[in-house]
Amino acid sequence: MSKTQCFKIKRGTVYDKAAKEHFELLPKWKNVFSRLSDLLEEEITKMAFSPHILRLDPSEFTKEENKKLFRKDGVLKSNTNKAKNLFKDYQKIIEEEGLSKFEELRHINFIYGVMRMRHQHLESFRTSENDIYYKADFDLEKKTNGLVIPISEIEYEEKYLEELKKKA
């Protein structure tokens, strides 16, 4: 493993804006869980955070009618009117909650090159201000074309400890 390098997200970049939007929208998914639970008359606690696909954990279903609406992998089927209507209701919930443009952080990271290759190490944490700090054994700044900026390992560790104290 090569020398550890530390970075933080560069504020004001397209990557920073996309990541912050993700974190701002994330809490709204609680309402989606609640509203889907009401629609299905079952407690929903696990789902994919995707505005385009309704994917739930099928092991949570107790009602046969709900089990029939979803494939074994949890994706909503599209071959029945009931399933089509449920998806329309889901899309309406997504729209009303303002989640139409929600993007998973892993997809955002992929788009902007914030990922590791095989045999590379990358770890990160998010601050209370929704900044992201990284520790890697490769040059993440170069890989992202300047979307992150290098910092010292001391700065990384100090920020990490500061965030831990805020959570305690």
Q: Which residues contact 101 (CB under 8 A, 6 or more apart)?
A: 21, 51
Choose among 112, 110, 118: nearest CA to 138. 118
Residues 39 and 87 occupy one common structural domain: yes
pTM of the model: 0.85
Do 159 and 128 belong together in one domain?
A: yes
Domain with 153 in it: 5-24+104-167
pLDDT in tens, 133-144: 999 999 999 999
Q: How high is the pLDDT of residue 159?
A: 97
Adjacent-strand bridge partners of 6: 135, 151
Same domain? 155 vs 108: yes
CA neighbor of 151 nearest in space, from 162, 141, 142: 141
* Average pLDDT in the chain: 94
End-to-end CA distance of the chain: 33
Structure tokens at 30: 């609680």
Q: Is the pLDDT of residue 2 over 70?
A: no
Tokens of 155: 């700065």
Q: Is the pLDDT of residue 1 over 90?
A: no
